[in-house]
Amino acid sequence: MTSEFVRLEVADGVGTIRLDRPKAMNAISIQVQDELRDAAAEATERADVRAVVVWGGERVFAAGNDVKEMSTMSYTDMVDRVDALQGAVNAVARIPKPVVAAVNGYALGGGCELALAADVRFAADNAVLGQPEVLLGITPGAGGTQRLPRLIGPSKAKDLLFTGRFVKADEALAIGLVDRVVPAADVYAEALAWAAKFATAAPYALRAIKETVDRGLEVDLETGLSIERQAFSGVFATEDRTTGMESFIENGPGKAIFGGR
C-alpha cells in the first residue's frame, strides 16, 4: 500500500498500522482518515496478517483530528464528511483479528478514539489520553461518546467528556482506559509481543470470539447468547477445530499447530 502518512508494515504474522505525520503530531486529517481506512482494509484482507498493532511512533500516538482543517468546514461540509471520519476508526475496530494500540505520548480526541477502537491498549508511562472536544465547543465524532462509556462505564466517561480533562497513564490504567503501562521505550515491543502470540493461533476462532464479544455488547444477554451459540457451532466447520482437539487429546493443551483453515 502506498500512502503518505499511514502505512501497513508486516512481519512474522503481525501487521503494524503506523501513523507517521510527525510535523503535525499525527493529527488525523481527511487524508489520514482515508489512508487509515485503506490500511485497516489491507490488514483485514491479508492472510499473512494474524494480529495488528496500531502505533504512532515513539513521540506521539495521535494528538487528535486536524483542528485547523475542521475549523474551515461548514455544517454541510461535515455532514458530507462525518461518515468517512467515523468510518476510518470503525474500519480499525472491525478488523477481524486481535488489535492492540501502542500509545506513546498524546492520544487525544480523535487519537483517543482510534485507541478505543483497538481490542486492548498498552500505554507508555508518559502517555496522556483524553477527549477534549468540549473545549472546542464540539462533541467527539469518531466513537468517543459510544466506545468510552462501554469501556470505562458511563459515569467515568461523562466526567472525561464533560470536562475535556487529560488523563495520565496511571489514572488511565486505574479506570480501565488502558490495559498495561510500561516504560515509553518498551511500548511498541510489548504490543508487538502481545500480537505475536496470535501469529500461529487459530484465526477463525479468534475472529469468532472478537465478533461475538463485540456484537454481544450491543444487544441483550439472551440475544448475545444466541450469537455465541451460532459462533460456537460454526467453528466446528474449521480444520483448525479438528487439529486443536486432536492435538489436545494426544499431546495436551497449547501444542497445536494450526493451518488457518
Q: pLDDT of 26-80, one tens digit each? A: 999 999 999 999 999 999 999 999 999 999 999 999 998 999 999 999 999 999 9
Tens-place pLDDT, residues 226-254: 999 999 999 999 999 999 999 999 998 88
Residue 181 to residue 186: CA distance in whole angstroms: 10
Question: What are the backbone dihedrals phi and psi of residue 141, each rounded to the nearest 5 degrees, phi first?
Answer: -130, 0
- What's the confidence (pLDDT) of residue 255? 83
222 is catalytic: no
Domains 6-196 and 203-251 share a fold: no
Residue 198 to residue 203: CA distance in whole angstroms: 8
Amino acid present at 186:
D
**How many helical (H) and strand (E) elements, i.e. helices and strands, does the chain have?**
11, 9
Using DSSP's 3-state secondary structure scheme, residue 100 falls into strand
Which set of grid coordinates corresponds to residue 211? 465478533
> Residue 130: in which H helix or E strand, if any?
strand 128-130
228 is catalytic: no
- What's the confidence (pLDDT) of residue 260? 85
- How many Cα atoms within 13 Å fall on the side-chain side of residue 81? 17
Using CA atoms, how far residue 34 sits from 81, 160, 251, in Å, is 11, 28, 47
Tens-place pLDDT, residues 158-186: 999 999 999 999 999 999 999 999 999 99
Q: Residue 62: is it exposed, middle or buried by C-beta count within 10 angstroms (0-12/13-18/19+)? A: buried
Is it the case that residue 256 has pLDDT exceeding 90? Answer: no
Which set of grid coordinates corresponds to residue 117? 477502537
Section 177-202 average pLDDT:
96
- The CATH number of domain 203-251 is 3.40.640.10: no
| Buried b or exposed e, range 100-121, using 16+ CB within 10 angstroms | bbbbbbbbbbbbbbbbbbbbeb
Tens-place pLDDT, residues 94-115: 999 999 999 999 999 999 999 9
Residue 182 to residue 138: CA distance in whole angstroms: 32
DSSP strand pairing (128-130 vs 106-108): parallel
Tens-place pLDDT, residues 204-225: 999 999 999 999 999 999 999 9
- What's the confidence (pLDDT) of residue 257? 87
Taking all residues of the chain, what is their mean pLDDT, rounded to a whole number? 95
Q: Cβ of 7: how many Cβ atoms within 10 Å?
A: 17
- What's the confidence (pLDDT) of residue 254? 82
* CATH class (in words) of the domain with range 6-196: alpha beta
- What's the confidence (pLDDT) of residue 2? 65
Contact 140, 133 (CB under 8 A): yes
Domain boundaries, the chain: 6-196, 203-251
From 133, 171, 246, 250, active-site residue: 133
Tens-place pLDDT, residues 2-31: 689 999 999 999 999 999 999 999 999 999
Terminal alpha carbon distance of the chain: 26
From 113, 171, 190, 239, active-site residue: 113
Tens-place pLDDT, residues 102-161: 999 999 999 999 999 999 999 999 999 999 999 999 999 999 999 999 999 999 999 999
Q: pTM for the complete prediction?
A: 0.94
